[in-house]
Structure 1
Amino acid sequence: MARRERRSGNVPEVVLWRELRKRPEGFKFRRQHPLGAYSLDFACLEARLCVEVDGEHHARGDRPAADIIRDVAVAEHGFATLRVPAREVLSDLSAVITTIVTACRDRAPLHPRPAAGGPPPRSGEVL
């Protein structure tokens, strides 16, 4: 299912993916990442952050309640959800990227992993 979703992305998702795949501030993102019964629009595994691009249909009918249920399920897996309106992606992409990077920084581990070939962690340090 995730593979099919990656191929059929809507315009705001495609625009956002073009920027997120550049690894802003070193954060790596995955697109349409499967998590339990859901497929996350974008996920930063290091920061345990899910980014969902919401179109206008997310404000109608039973969608707000369904989104809350989804956010709770995602949180049970240790991920926070950041919902970004699709219109914001199209109108002010740089502000959206700044918001996403800030959220990643706020959730990233306190001690970054050492670079490849760097020294191992000291006794008692946990990665």
Structure 2
Amino acid sequence: MRGMERFRTSAKTLRANQTSAEARLWAALRGRRLAGWKFRRQHPIDRFIVDFVTLDGKLIVEVDGATHGERSAVERDEGRTRVLASLGFHVVRVTNTEVYENIDGVLEMIARTLRPH
């Protein structure tokens, strides 16, 4: 259980130190503000801590900064997505730039992705 407690502590630290893009998206998602869906932020799933998740909708939203375009990061993200998909989650990725410049479009895409559920 010691490892799990450390994992929860890491998630709590990430919540306290969120990026400005994450803070902006969280302001739009928290409190069931997006079509009544309950989102959690920096939530542990399996061996990962995901940026945002709606457990009922089985949707994970990851906000990627500039470093996620590097080959090693892309490969790591693809592996992470495969594991999360094997657990029944759909993963969508948005960039910091998309959150800053087109938050309405990001929210529309998330809502559209959730509609079939």
Q: Same fold (TM over 0.5)?
A: yes
The percent identity for this pair of structures is: 36
1:78 aligns with 2:94: no
Quote the Cα distance in structure 2 between the aligned partners of 1:67 and 1:29: 21
Alignment of 1:60-99 (within 5 A): 60-99=70-109
2:47 pairs with 1:47: no
Which of the pair has more CA radius of gyration?
1
Which residue of 17, 21, 24 corresponds with 1:12?
Answer: 21
Distance 2:28 2:65 in 1: 19
Unaligned 5+ runs, structure 1: 109-127
Work out the CA distance in 2 between the residues paired with 1:60 and 1:94.
27
What do you get for the CA RMSD once the two structures are aligned? 0.9
Distance 2:97 2:115 in 1: 24
Find runs of 4+ consecutive structure 1 residues off by over 2 angstroms. none
Instruction: Note the residue ranges of structure 2 that are not aligned, 5 or more in a row.
Output: 1-9
SS at match of 1:78: coil
